[in-house]
Amino acid sequence: MSLEIIIQTLASGILIGLIYALVAIGLTLIFGVMDIVNFSHGEFLMFGMYSSFWMYSLFALDPMFTLPLTALFLFALGTLLYKLIIKKITNAPMLSQIFTTFGLMMLFRGLAQFFWKPDFRTVDHSIVSGAVQVFGIQVGMPQVTAGVGAILVTMGIYLFLTKTRAGAALEATAADKEAAQLMGIDSQKMFAMAWGIGAACAGVAGALLSTFFPIFPEVGANFILIAFVVVNLGGFGSVIGALFAGIIVGVIEVMGGFLIGPQYKLALVLGLFLAVLMFRPQGLMGKQ
């Protein structure tokens, strides 16, 4: 086992961890603002992948070029979903909220299977295909592009939340909805924005993944479970916490699979999840 192989494996873990972080950021944003766990979040990623695939397949548009359109489409879908369905359960019991988002997950998977069949699809010739040398280590260009894109989007979301009035309003709503309403902030608009941004983050992750990961109706299930672990590890509602937690989970998954065995990857991640629940349930950057 050479040092080069270990470093290359570590790099792969960091890059996939950045994608996990991007998926988890949308999830943690929705939870932080509304205290609703969105089980259908993985299907937003799936729609992002299919959106990129069909624009590539039908119009020969590369996923990197159509990424802004994918983000806008998912933002609109998330906002519409909130206004049509989620708005009606914002004050409902937690079980009602869980069953609603779980039902949406099953509905979206069923629709994807009905319209697009359970076949595996791929984007074969993206402009980011191939490999690249980074500090002497050869890694896939799609993975590097996805990692860089995830960092840029994460930093964009962080700056939006900390440097803009709309972001401050979202943070205020997340901190205390009643107090924010007394200050003139429309909580319903903030909730709709949170769902739109959360869906857009998953859509961007899907577009980035579509250049190197197979596309099929259940693809979201491969990421949503890990996203919950990332959200819990980073701290519910913390964007920066999700970024660092995603990298940690990605490295543990890939390095554990390499050093111990690929069949133990998920077990290691879930073991980390249980350890966090036991010893630091608020996560790395969550509040006490």
Which structure tokens are listed for 165? 């009035």
Instruction: Tell me if 40 sits within 8 A of 101, measured CB to CB.
Output: yes
The predicted model gives 206-226 an average pLDDT of: 92
Please report which confidence band the pLDDT of residue 140 belongs to, taking 50, 70 and 90 as the band edges.
confident
Q: Could you tell me the residue ranges of all domains in the chain? A: 8-119+146-279
State pLDDT tens for residues 100-118: 999 999 999 999 999 999 9
The predicted model gives 177-195 an average pLDDT of: 89
What's the pLDDT score for residue 66?
A: 95
Percent of the chain with pLDDT over 90: 53
CA distance 75 to 82: 11
Tell how strand 137-140 and strand 131-134 pair up.
Answer: antiparallel
State pLDDT tens for residues 143-169: 999 999 999 999 999 999 999 999 999
Q: What is the pTM of this model?
A: 0.91
235: left (phi over 0), alpha (psi -120 to 50) or beta: left
What's the pLDDT score for residue 163?
A: 92
State pLDDT tens for residues 77-95: 999 999 999 999 988 888 8
Number of H helices, E strands in the chain: 11, 2
Q: Which among 184, 200, 136, 197 is positioned nearest to 4, based on CA atoms?
A: 136
Reply yes or no on whether the pLDDT at 64 is more than 90. yes
Mean pLDDT of the chain: 89
CA distance 93 to 216: 33
CA distance 92 to 64: 40
DSSP H stretches of helix in 117-140: none
What's the pLDDT score for residue 283?
A: 79
What's the pLDDT score for residue 175?
A: 82
Distances (CA, A) of 262 to 112, 214, 266: 29, 19, 8
